[in-house]
Structure 1
Amino acid sequence: MIKIEQNTTLFASIEQKISGKNNQFSEILAKVEQFKKDLEEPGPLRLAFKLNMDKIKEKIEEKRAELAEIFEVAKLSGDEKARTIASIEEMLEAYKKQLLEQMQAAKELEDEKQAQKSPSSKVDVMRAFAFLDTKNATQNKAQNKQDELLKSLL
C-alpha cells in the first residue's frame, strides 16, 4: 500500500513538471507567433527600426535613472531640482543623438560589408575610413558636451 502512495506522489510530481514545461513552451510559442506577426505586418525593415528604437529608449531610461541617482535628484527641491532635471534631460538628448548616430554608423558599416560581398560592387576604403573618422569626431563632441554638463552640475 505504501508503494502505491509513493508511486501516486511520484506520478503527480512528474505530471506537475510536465504541465509546467507545457506552460513554458506555450509562452515561448506565443512570443514566437507575436514576433512572426510583427515581422509580417510592418515588414522587416520597420520591425528592425522599431526594435532598435526600443533598445534606445531602454538605454535612455537606464541612463536617466543613473543620472538621477548620481545627482541625488530625490534629495533636491524647488528650483535646484528643476534645474538638475533640465540638465539631465539635456544630457539624455545628447545621449540619444549619440545612440542614433551609432545606430546609423553600424547600419552604414553593415551596408558597406554587404557591398563588399557582392562581386560587382567596388568599395572605396578611404571613403569608409573618412566616414568612421567623422562619426568618431561627432561622438567625441557629444561625449565632451555630456562631460562638460556633468562638470558644471558638480
Structure 2
Amino acid sequence: MHREEGEGSENTESTYSPNKVHPVPLERLLATEDDQELANLKKQLHEQELKLSHLTALLADTEQDLAKHTQMNEVLKEEIRRQQRSQERERHAENLEYLKNVVFKFVTLSNSDERTRLVPVLNTILKLSPDETRQLTTVAKGEPSATLKGWTNLLPTWSSSPSKP
C-alpha cells in the first residue's frame, strides 16, 4: 500500500527554496504562545478582578441594607409594643377617677418608699414601657437623673415643698 505525503510517510528530501516562507524558530513560537497565553490570562484575571470588585460592592450594599432592615425591624417592634400599651391604656381609661387619685397621691407623697410602691400601680394603669418604668422609679426614689427632662424633674420638689392652707 502506497502512502501519500502527509499520511505517515517520511519525507527526507530537503526542498529548500528561497521563495518559500521560513518557519519561525521554536523558541520564538513558544515565546509568542506564552505572550498570547499570558495576555489571555491577564485579560481573564482582569475580568475576574472586575467581577470580584462588583460582587464585593454588592455584598457591601446588601450588608448595609441588612443593617438598615434590622434597625427598622427593631423600631417597628417597639412601635407595635407602644401601640399595644396604648390599647391597654384605653381599656383602663374608663376609670379616670382612680387614675387621677393614684397620680395625685404619687405627686403629693413625701416618703419615697410609699411613692416607690405606687410605681407598679401606675405601670399597670398606664402600661408604661420598661424605660418609662425605670424613670418613674428614679423619680419615686427622689434620685436625680440626667435622663429625666421636663416636668418629671419637678415631682420630688412638689412633694417636698410645704403646702399652703
TM bracket (short chain): 0.3 to 0.5
Bigger relative contact order (CA 8 A; separation at least 6): 1
Q: Which has the higher helix share?
A: 1
* TM-score of the aligned structures, taking structure 1 as reference length: 0.35
* TM-score of the aligned structures, taking structure 2 as reference length: 0.33
Larger Rg: 2
